[in-house]
């Protein structure tokens, strides 16, 4: 907290503390304690998560967090597992659970052509998110190749190969589908 207090002027002027990673819920005890400490200090608290966490822990965090930045990578459980190593059942159940518990949630979609950019996936996302409470909006985050250079420098395999960023038309088309469900959509972070 001592380190955070040094930046307090920024937190009081519309800023706050965002817990991200990796995955902040990988250290649940520390995370919940840090959220409590930031709350006592009056700081706005955001959690950037994929939601793949114990239901009890994520629901317990709702009274401690002011906003969730919640990644939804794919609506199909098998495709989600193919790309991430786990299916999305827990992730979507947790999204519904924190919505029911009163959380404010911004949905974030890492948008990758050919992987999750299809109309069927966007419609499935719109149908799932539309009835949820507390949704502040959906951010479509167009894929970029910045990480490829890092992987090259570190001699690591870049698993997305030659995937290209989406075109503006692809991104706008996905946004239009989500907007047709009454969702407020923003392209970019």
Phi, psi of 76, rounded to the nearest 5 degrees: -85, 125
Residue 69, number of CB atoms within 10 A of its CB: 18
Q: In what order do the strands lie in the sheet with 17-19?
A: 17-19, 45-49, 67-71, 105-111, 135-142, 185-187
- pLDDT for 1: 52
How far apart CA 19 and CA 118 sit, in angstroms, is 30
- Residues 88-125 have pLDDT tens digits of 999 999 999 999 999 999 999 999 999 999 999 999 99
**Which class is 2-187 in CATH?**
alpha beta
Residue 144, number of CB atoms within 10 A of its CB: 10
How far apart CA 66 and CA 15 sit, in angstroms, is 12
Q: Is 8 helix (H, G, I), strand (E, B) or coil?
A: helix
- Residue entry with tokens 């495709």: 79
Residue 26 has which token pair? 């990988």
How far apart CA 96 and CA 105 sit, in angstroms, is 10
How far apart CA 129 and CA 182 sit, in angstroms, is 10
- Residues 34-48 have pLDDT tens digits of 999 999 988 999 999
- Residues 124-160 have pLDDT tens digits of 999 999 999 999 999 999 998 776 666 677 777 766 7
- pLDDT for 65: 98
- Residues 158-174 have pLDDT tens digits of 667 788 899 999 999 99
How far apart CA 136 and CA 169 sit, in angstroms, is 24
Residues 6+ apart with CB under 8 A from 173: 119
How far apart CA 116 and CA 61 sit, in angstroms, is 29
């Amino acid at each position: 907290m001592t380190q955070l207090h040094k930046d307090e002027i920024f937190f009081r002027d519309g800023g706050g503390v965002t817990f991200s990673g990796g995955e902040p819920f990988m250290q649940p005890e520390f995370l919940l304690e840090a959220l409590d400490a930031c709350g006592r200090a009056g700081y706005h608290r955001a959690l950037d998560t994929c939601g793949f966490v114990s239901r009890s822990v994520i629901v317990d965090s709702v009274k401690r967090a002011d906003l969730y930045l919640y990644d939804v990578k794919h609506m199909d459980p098998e495709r989600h597992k193919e790309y991430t190593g786990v299916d999305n059942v827990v992730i979507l159940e947790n999204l519904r659970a924190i919505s029911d518990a009163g959380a404010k949630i911004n949905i974030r979609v890492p948008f990758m052509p050919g992987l999750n950019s299809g109309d069927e996936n966007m419609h499935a996302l719109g149908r799932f998110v539309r009835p949820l409470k507390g949704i502040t909006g959906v951010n479509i985050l167009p894929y970029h190749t910045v990480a490829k250079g890092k992987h090259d420098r570190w001699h690591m395999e870049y698993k997305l190969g030659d995937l290209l960023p989406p075109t503006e038309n692809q991104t706008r088309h996905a946004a239009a589908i989500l907007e047709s469900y009454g969702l407020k959509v923003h392209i970019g972070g």
